[in-house]
Structure 1
């Protein structure tokens, strides 16, 4: 009896975590897209790769100061996953920041979304899940096709960012499950910074010396497009699976297009607005499919989700 009562009590935080997932993902997307707009606005003074390097370097420095990870307490298998995530972070940052230098932010974020959406389709086990993911994918493709002229290099960079984003989603969830705190993310950011910081120093030292204000921009981009989004991602991926996460990310093009219009005056066509509406509808549908059953639906009074409360 006591075990049943305890199960009922512990099921509620998990449900609350699932219910909060769309809000957390929307916060992550908004922060990321605003950071991307700030970064793109600074491209007249500093290159995309250099900004990507500053983004990861500042993020790693802040996380190390806040978390203070203890390397000796990290097991070998934890190191492997955290380092893998760091490598993917470095590649994803460079690919995406280069992509938005050739494409509108809304289009670039749409291309990057192809990775998580494809992952969602592969992981779909119900017809409704597959339909929601395909609806979001249709909106993504419609948004991309509606652009009047797309740079081939920008498209290739966007596809590379998409592949990295899919790997990032899987690895970020694994790191979140293997580490009880934020040490894994801190290690991953440090690895990515170690890869990109030398590139930044070698390619844009003179630019930084001539325009020291770009360091402030780099810090802002680090907070908005790395530190806050990655932390929110890990928080969400501790609560929902990668399939649901991939579909929720379908809100990225809508937010990216809105931010691009508000900050960089990147205009939308009617066709692009319709495509974004499809993506939003697919995300809302996916969220409704993932609602847990009511507590009274089980004879024992416990939720079917109870066995999955602790993913670690």
Structure 2
């Protein structure tokens, strides 16, 4: 079984690489592969990603693109059963955009199911995510690919494994994707939006109950604001293997700058938009059950500082007027 799956992975790997090179047209000779493990950085493309511990492989470069492949224990021991790929492609030389599911289902020797597509936040922008299960020579395997773009390039991270073993390293892949940084990344439009539902929560702020309009694709519970530690905490739960996103009107409770932790570990997979009381934070994560903590620089006062200043000024003016002879004469 392992040998048959290795053949399938080899065919996918070959398809990925040759589509990378041949679809570009007249690519020049490929450079010699270079070893890769841990943090991979490509300064020219402005791309950086950290592969899981124990995964290593090779970076193969042509004049039109690059592909990094990594597997548990490396690539030198024959074709692996699990593999992660990072590709960087020149948009002007790609015939089929990687956001098109056919880019990973066009192998004629494989029978693939209907791909599922969704959106997720990567490197601070909306990326496209595609998951599909294919069968080759009676062996079922799953592929997940996350695609991000710049004005000039497509950047894709892909994970392939036997269907029965797919979930065992899915979290490692999602963690690797969460480390993906792309300079000049832009949102990918036209994807399937993650469905967000209004989930009204309440917290105590300044001794009063505050309604918080949270939007999320997850089940939200244990929503609480600790004014002493300037931290908002909540639990987000969803079906394992899917992506979750939660939008919080954080500006109504905490002032920035902010730090975000998921299950006690700091994350940068969040966005902050707006200003003042209209600041909204969007936190993204791979679904299971997560404890999310958002810490701000200070708690938003019951009255905004500007309002407090105006009230104080009015009180001062009234006090001064009250002490004047003119005012006393008018009320006698």
TM class by shorter chain equals under 0.3
Higher relative contact order (CA 8 A, sep 6+): 1
TM-score, with length taken from structure 2: 0.24
> Which one has the largest radius of gyration?
2
Q: Which has the higher strand share?
A: 2
Structure richer in helix, relative to its length: 1
